[in-house]
Amino acid sequence: MFTGIARSLASNTLKNDTKNPVVWQPSILLSAIALALTALALICRDDETTNEFLRALNLRYLPILTVNLLATAVALTFGYSVLVPIRYGMGDFEGDYGSRNRNDVLTLLMLTSTTGLMSTLALRRSYTSWPQCLFYTVIIALQLRTEPGLRHGPQWWTSDNPSDVVALTSVDSESFMMPERSEDLNRIRIQDIRIGRDLFCLRLLMFVVVLPLMWLAYLTFNFSDQIHQTTIITEPRLDLEYSPQFDSEIVISMYKERVDEVAHLISTMRAVSTLRHPRIHIYIKDEKAKLELVKQGTRADQVTLLRNVGREAETYLHHILYHWDSLAKHTLFLQANVHNPREFFPRVHDYFHPEYTGMLSLGWSGQVCNCEDCEDRFNFRDTTHLFPDISKRIDNSTVCDKVLLTYKGQFIVSAKRIRGINRSIYEDLHQAFVDRNSWAHQEAYLQGRPDSMSAPVFGYTMERMWNLLFQCNSIEVAWKCPSLLSGNRIGGSIEDCQCLDPMP
């Protein structure tokens, strides 16, 4: 609990410091708050807690305390989470420990299968790597270790003769001890045995029949490609004849962000080895900005002034159209104020490949919608059926089924994918942003939502449509790609979070 509170306070205090993607302050704040809360808890208690705590610091416990400290530090450093085992309270009978262990394991297995099955059927498949399966199995095996309590069967399983059991006693109104009647005792004993056997049959049914069936259903629905292969897989249309003049370019959509912050962002991106010395092109939508000062302050290769129209989506479309024949091999599109910077930089480092990356979204992953009626949990809905229209324009022979949505307006895409579809598609989308009389600014599309040229409603649609536009609708990405907080999954591959281009 203290660790969680400290972590929360650290996150809220630092507010994602973009000046240092790998910050060290959270560790200090975490330690300080944890020590303060622990000390406060010890002072406020009036029992033997303080003495017990001091006794636990004995030298003979130093090795195990050191292991615990190092394990916690590693968990916080790499996973930002800690699992705390909570044992039963004091006063439990020693003989019941093994039975509780066994029941805990069975309950865990039942909860895992039930939760997994419900999640798979209601949401989407969940990805589990072989290290996760291995450690889960190890934990189950350790929980089922032999304990003294397991050597004795349940009390009702004994074969004692009811007549051999010592008679129970009762107290009458005069407080004299009176022996129970033998036949009553036998009846109670037989009734207990029947109840015990009924419970045994119920448990046998649950854990020998129901539990295996639940696991079988979960594994089948979650990991069977035959069941989940509902998306029509087609080869993407790629421009394989285009020869780019340089490897990578970073396109930044800027408004009134501080120049020094943008300069730090650029220097950090240039330090990513896989980007191979990218060109920097900044588009500014602030008419009062001094372009030469921005260029000098950021050391960008090119700075271009645009009208304050259409937010970042119009910027990206403008760059594609006006640099159609000079696109880099890979272009990183992002805003000057990067979303989730702490996770953004590791995501680029872990997944971008300078040869194979086709389309890599750098925002939330895993959201899928039906193409004909696309909507998400953020109150977005494709009321004009733009998704199926764009899909048909890309490839008439393809039936639009599932769409993998993009978020945050930050992604890396290859020139092969950009130029793989007809240029007129980009022109029409760009026109929808810049033309005040286009359908994207009419009430039939807006349906009462506030709209302006600088902040169009259509921008939210475009934010979600980049994967569709660049032909990256792999449902494998939807269920395999870890969250931004999870980082790079052990046992995974770079293909988990992106669509790859074929080898040259």
What secondary structure does DSSP assign to 322-365, as a single string?
A: HTTTS--SEEEEEESS-SSHHHHHHHHHHH--TTTEEEEE-S--
Give SS3 for 402: strand
- Residue 111 corresponds to which tokens in the numbers above? 């909860």
Q: Which tokens sit at 463?
A: 């934010």
Dist CA 201 CA 191 (whole Å):
15
DSSP label of 295: H
Nearest to 470 by CA among 388, 325, 347, 361: 361
Q: Which helix (H) or strand (E) holds 435?
A: none
* Overall residue count recorded for the chain in this entry: 504
Look up residue 475 and give its two tokens.
């449902």
Identify whether the C-beta of residue 7 lies closer than 8 Å to the C-beta of residue 30.
yes
Here the tokens at position 205 are: 């049914």
* Pair of tokens at residue 400: 């639009």
DSSP class per residue in 58-72: -GGGHHHHHHHHHHH
The residue ranges of the chain whose pLDDT is under 50 are 14-24, 80, 84-95, 97, 147-179
Q: Show the 3-state SS of 460-471.
A: HHHHHHHHHHCC
Residue-level pLDDT at 377: 84
Predicted pLDDT at 357: 96
Q: To which residue do tokens 């790998």 refer?
A: 22
The pLDDT, as a whole number, for residue 256 is: 93
* Whole-structure pTM value: 0.69
d(CA 245, CA 332): 16
Specify the DSSP element, H or E, that contains 288: none
Between CA 116 and CA 211 the distance in angstroms is 13
| CA distance linking residue 120 with residue 218, whole number of Å | 8
**How far, in Å, are 263, 334, 439 from residue 344 at the CA level?**
17, 11, 34
Residue-wise pLDDT for 213-271, tens only, equals 988 988 888 877 656 555 556 788 999 999 999 999 999 999 999 999 999 999 999 98
**Exposed (0-12), middle (13-18) or buried (19+): which is 465, by Cβ within 10 Å?**
buried
Q: Which residues contact 296 (CB under 8 A, 6 or more apart)?
A: none
Q: How many CA atoms within 13 Å lie on the side-chain side of 298? A: 29
User: In this predicted model, what pLDDT tens digit does every residue of 345-404 receive, in sequence order?
Assistant: 989 999 999 999 999 999 988 888 888 889 988 889 998 899 999 999 998 766 777 889
Q: How far apart are CA 500 and CA 495, in angstroms?
A: 7
Residue 399's identity, in one-letter code, is V
| Single-letter amino acid, residue 307 | R
Token pair for 383: 């009321």
The whole-angstrom separation of Cα 486 and Cα 440 is 37
Angle at 485 between CA 480 and CA 489, to 5 degrees: 40
User: Are 309 and 453 contacting, i.e. CB atoms less than 8 angstroms apart?
Assistant: yes
Task: Give the Å distances, CA to CA, from 498 to 5, 190, 256.
Answer: 35, 65, 31
CA atoms within 13 A on the CB side of 339: 16
Say how far apart CA 461 and CA 160 lie, in whole Å. 74
Query: Can you read off the two tokens belonging to residue 247?
Result: 């490897």
Beta-carbon-side half-sphere exposure of residue 436 (alpha carbons within 13 Å): 3
Q: Of 386, 405, 364, 375, nearest to 458 (Cα)?
A: 386
